[in-house]
Amino acid sequence: MLLFSAFLFPMIAGTLVSVWSGKSEKTRNLLYTAVLLLSDLLGVLALLYGEPVTLFRMTEKAVMGFSLDNFGRIALAAVLVLYTAVCFYAFEYMKMEERPNVFFGFYFVSMGALMAVCMSSNLVTLYFCFELATLSSVPLVLHEMTKAAVDAGLKYLFYSIAGALMGLLAVFFVYFYGKGEGRFVMGGFLDPALVKGHEQVFLAVIFVGILGFGTKAGMYPMHGWLPTAHPIAPAPASALLSGIIAKAGIIAVVRLVYFSVGTDFLKGTWVQYAWMCLAMLTILMGSMCAFREKVMKKRLAYSTVSQISYIMLGLSLLSTEGLKGGILHLLSHAASKGCLFLVAGIFIYKLGKRNVADLKGIGKQMPVTMWCFMIASLSLVGIPPMGGFTSKWALAGAAIGDGMGVFSILPPVVLLISALLTAGYLFPVAIDAFFPGHDFDDSGLKKCEPSPLMTIPLMVLCLAALIVGVFGTQIVEALL
C-alpha cells in the first residue's frame, strides 16, 4: 500500500492543515513544510520500493490499480522536484494574496493527484486521476476570484473536461479491443483478431484520444486555455500548470499510444502524420505568438504552448528514440519554464511589473533573479550544456534517423526556427535588464532582491535543468 499512501497523504494532510485556520502564518508554514517533506519522503520510497496495488475491481476489465514502471518513476521525480521548489517560493509569494490556506490546500490535493497519475497502472485509473488533477488545479487558477480569474478558471475547466471526454472515448475502444485487464505494457495490449476489420474506425478514435489528452498539453486546436489561465493565476500556480500539470496530458498520451495501443499499429498511418503536423504547427504558432506578446506571463504561456508540443512531436515519431527525446524535454522544460514563471512572479511581487517593456535595468535591482532567468532561458532556447539542448538534439536526431522522407527533415527545421524565435522573446529581456543603454537613468534604482525563500527555488530549478543537460541522456537510456 506504499503507492496508495504516497499520493493520498499530501491530499489529506495538506487539507487538514489548511482548514486549521486558527493557527498563525508561521505555524501553518511549518506544518506545510512537514507535510511537504513527508510527502517527498513517501514519494521517494514509492520510487524505490513501491509494489503494485489493486484497490478494487469495477468490472471484469476495469480495475482501479497503481504501479510504477520506469516511465512513471521519471515523471514522479519531476512532480516531486517542481512541487517542492514551488512550495517554499509560495510561502513568500502568497503573502500578497488573500486566502493562502485555500491555495495551499488545493496545492497539496493537486500534488497527490499528479503523483497518482504517474502511478496509475491502467487507463481507467489514469483517467480518474487525470480528472482529479484537473478539478484540484482549477481553484489554483481562479484563486483571486476576480471576474477575469473566474472566467479563466472556467475556460480551463471546460477545455480540460472536453479533452478528457475525448480521451475517455479512446479508453473505451482500447479496452474493448484489448486483451486482459488492460495493464500498461510497452508495445500495447491490443488483440489483433478483435481489431481486424475495424482498423479505420479505431485509428480515428485514437486520434480523437490524442487530441483530447493533448488539450491538457496545449496542443492546437485545443490550446486556448493556456494563454488565458497563466496570466491570471498566481505565479506559483502558473509554474505548476506549465511545468508539470500540463504534462499530465503528455503522460496520458504516452500511456495511450506507447503502453496501450502500441506504436506498431499507428506507425505509417494518417494518424501519425496528422499528429506530427499538428505538433509542428503548434510549435511555430506558439513561438510566434510568444514573440509578439508584451505581457511577461502571457509570453511565457504561449511559450509553453510551443515547448510542450516539442514533446508531442517526439512522441509522434512513434519510436523509442522519439520517446526518449520527449521525456528529456519533459524534464528540461519542467525545470526551466517553472523557473521562468517564478521569476515573473518576483517581478510582480517586488515591483508590480508585468509588461516586458517595464523590465529595463531590472538586472541592477535583482541580479541573482535575472541570472536565474538567463540560465533558464539558455535551457529553453537550447544552448549547451543545458537540458533544452540535450532534449532538442535527441528529438532532431530521432526524426532524422526515422527514414520518413520529408517528415524526417521538417521536425529539425521547425525546431531550429522555434529556437530562434525563443531566443528572440527571451534574450532581449535579459539583455535589457543588464544593459539598458546609456539613455537609461538608473540613478534611482536600488537593489531589491527577494528573500532566499524565492531565490533558492530558482537556483534549484536551474541546477535541475543543468543536470538534465549533463546526465539526462544517460539516465533515460538506463531506464528505458
Is the pLDDT at 478 greater than 90? The verdict is: no
Summarize the confidence of residues 233-259 as an average pLDDT: 94
The mean pLDDT value for 56-79 works out to: 90
Q: Looking at residues 135-150, what average pLDDT do you find?
A: 90
| Distance of alpha carbon 285 from alpha carbon 418, whole angstroms | 9
Cell of 380: 529553453
Average pLDDT over residues 14-21: 87
Of the two residues 26 and 244, the one the predictor is more confident about is 244
Residue 23's pLDDT is what? 66
What is the separation of C-alpha 238 from the centre of its chain, rounded to a whole number of angstroms? 10
Out of 209-218, 227-236, 355-364, give the one with best mean pLDDT: 209-218
- pLDDT of 180 reads 78
Residue 318 has pLDDT above 90, yes or no: yes
Residue-wise pLDDT for 109-122, tens only, equals: 999 999 999 999 99
Residue given cell 489528452 in the structure block: 213
pLDDT at residue 21, rounded to an integer:
64
Annotate 355-387 with DSSP letters as a single string.
Answer: BGGGGTTHHHH-HHHHHHHHHHHHHHHT-TTSH
Alpha-carbon distance of 297 to 200, in angstroms, equals 42
What is the model's pLDDT at position 96? 86
Mean pLDDT of 40-56: 92
d(CA 214, CA 254): 11
Burial of 112: CB neighbours in 10 Å, binned 0-12, 13-18, 19+: buried
Q: How confident is the model at residue 22 (pLDDT cuts 50, 70, 90)?
A: low
More confident residue, 254 or 153: 254
CA dihedral 43, 47, 51, 52 (to 10 degrees): 80
**Residue 223 in this model has a pLDDT that exceeds 90:** no
> How many whole angstroms separate alpha carbon 307 and alpha carbon 312?
9
pLDDT digits (tens, 9 = 90+) for 387-431: 999 999 999 999 998 778 888 999 999 999 999 999 999 999 999
pLDDT of residue 401: 83
**pTM, rounded to two decimals:** 0.95
Mean pLDDT of the residues in the chain? 92
The mean pLDDT of 320-348, rounded to a whole number, is 95
Angle among Cα 378, 383, 385 to the nearest 5 degrees reads 105
- The pLDDT value recorded for residue 126 is 96
